């Protein structure tokens, strides 16, 4: 079997309501799918992290840079192909968009591996340690205008009532206003519902310390990306000083970047993004690095139903850390805001919301590979060329 083509599909649509995080407001959604075709008719699907024009740039990298390096090769040679691409791109991008593009290709090759062997992704990476995973609902985005605290307080109650095991909210208005936002959310759901706070690296260390102390008093489960990902010393200072756990790593790439992040003792909770850091091949190496230092992993997940399915497989196949009868379980991050790419992309939807309402948990698809297929009519409807 040989690879005959690598095709990139960027899908976009305009949201009914603008959403925001600490760095920007946005009015559209993007997902970037990668299709690896073979001469025997089998197709593997992957996904690249990156919104808007980033996805369009990554499309060029996938089709014009990476595809010529791997077309004609055996799709089972995943490690060979990964290192071929990385080595040829090393002088041009050891992090960032080239690695995001490579991630989608690598995930598609793993999907092909499962379809060729008749095994699910969870089986391919070592087997299921659990049959399902709990889910936390990621909502409470920033919006313009007055009444944000009241809206977030109402939204978090809805997330809890929908069956989610925990929730995560955005901050980024400034230290004083952010503390007020978190206080409103905590007051709305009480002390027994886990709340996490995501700053998307908007603070300097002094403001992060001020906010982090308040989050500790409010019983927040973790403080995510409090400072710039380059500020390793700042991360270490926060981790050494604050009571609240420090989470991060979604903006880190490859085993080498993660080695340095972990060696600097920056995070209590590691958040690798499989669609960005180098794909499943590289994610498994990062998992080993984190677990060798007894740092728990809660995957960063932001994308379509395809990315969600990949992450469910990886989470059911994650070993307990450190192990025990009642070990803390890894959670799936799930976007709770309106998202057609989460709900309508697949030929057979994942049924996430119904499962969460019933048990607060979701199961991995059972088919070979990732176990899901994008609907070609849906892809054609939302695909953009530039």
Domain 122-362 in the same topology as domain 3-118+376-384: no
CA nearest to 251, candidates 269, 225, 212, 290: 225
- What does the pLDDT look like over 236-292, one tens digit per residue? 999 999 999 999 999 999 999 999 999 999 999 999 999 999 999 999 999 999 999
- What does the pLDDT look like over 149-178, one tens digit per residue? 999 999 999 999 999 999 999 999 999 999
Range with the lowest mean pLDDT among 208-212, 248-252, 320-324?
320-324
Sequence-distant (≥ 6) Cβ neighbours of residue 323 within 8 angstroms: none
> What are the C-alpha distances in Å from 363 to residues 56, 75, 340, 368?
32, 27, 20, 14
Instruction: List the chain domain ranges.
Output: 3-118+376-384, 122-362
The dotted CATH code for 122-362 is 3.20.20.120
Strand, helix or coil for residue 172: coil
pLDDT above 80 (res 60): yes
The dotted CATH code for 3-118+376-384 is 3.30.390.10
Instruction: Judge whether 333 and 274 are in contact, CB under 8 Å.
Output: no
Total number of residues shown for the chain: 386
Sheet holding 24-38, edge to edge: 43-48, 24-38, 3-21, 383-384
- What does the pLDDT look like over 360-384, one tens digit per residue? 999 999 999 999 999 999 999 999 9
As annotated, the active-site residues are 300
Indicate the pTM of the whole model: 0.98
- What does the pLDDT look like over 178-191, one tens digit per residue? 999 999 999 999 99
pLDDT above 80 (res 386): no
Strand, helix or coil for residue 368: coil
Q: If pLDDT is split at 50, 70 and 90, which confidence band does 385 have?
A: confident
Token output for 195: 């709340």
Rounded Cα gap, residues 334 and 342, in angstroms: 9
pLDDT above 90 (res 17): yes
């Amino acid at each position: 079997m040989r690879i005959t083509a690598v095709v990139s599909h960027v899908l976009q649509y305009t949201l009914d309501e603008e959403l925001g995080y600490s760095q920007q407001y946005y009015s559209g959604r993007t997902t970037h799918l990668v299709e690896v075709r073979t001469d025997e008719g089998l197709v593997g699907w992957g996904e690249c992290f990156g919104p808007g024009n980033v996805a369009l740039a990554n499309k060029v990298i996938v089709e014009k840079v990476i595809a010529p390096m791997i077309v004609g090769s055996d799709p089972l040679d995943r490690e060979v192909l990964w290192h071929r691409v990385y080595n040829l791109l090393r002088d041009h991008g050891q992090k960032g968009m080239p690695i995001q593009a490579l991630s989608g290709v690598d995930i598609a090759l793993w999907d092909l591996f499962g379809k060729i062997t008749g095994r699910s992704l969870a089986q391919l990476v070592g087997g299921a340690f659990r049959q399902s995973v709990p889910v936390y609902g990621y909502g409470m985005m920033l919006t313009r205008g007055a009444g944000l605290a009241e809206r977030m307080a109402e939204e978090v109650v809805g997330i809890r009532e929908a069956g989610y095991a925990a929730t995560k909210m955005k901050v980024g208005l400034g230290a004083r206003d952010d503390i007020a936002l978190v206080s409103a959310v905590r007051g709305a759901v009480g002390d027994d519902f886990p709340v996490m706070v995501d700053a998307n690296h908007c603070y300097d260390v002094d403001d992060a310390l001020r906010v982090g102390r308040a989050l500790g008093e409010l019983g927040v489960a973790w403080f995510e990306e409090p400072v710039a990902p380059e500020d390793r010393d700042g991360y270490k200072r926060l981790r050494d000083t604050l009571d609240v756990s420090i989470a991060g790593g979604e903006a880190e790439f490859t085993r080498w970047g993660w080695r340095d992040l972990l060696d600097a003792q920056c995070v209590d909770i590691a958040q690798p993004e499989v669609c960005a850091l180098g794909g499943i091949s590289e994610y498994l190496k990062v998992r080993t690095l984190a677990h060798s230092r007894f740092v728990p992993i809660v995957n960063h997940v932001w994308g379509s139903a395809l990315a969600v399915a990949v992450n469910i497989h990886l989470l059911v196949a994650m070993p307990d850390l450190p192990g025990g009868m009642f070990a803390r379980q890894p959670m799936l991050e799930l976007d709770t805001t309106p998202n057609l790419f989460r709900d309508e992309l697949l030929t057979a939807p994942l049924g996430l919301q119904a499962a969460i309402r019933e048990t607060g948990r979701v199961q991995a698809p059972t088919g070979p590979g990732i176990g899901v297929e994008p609907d070609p009519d849906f892809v054609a409807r939302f695909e953009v060329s530039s």
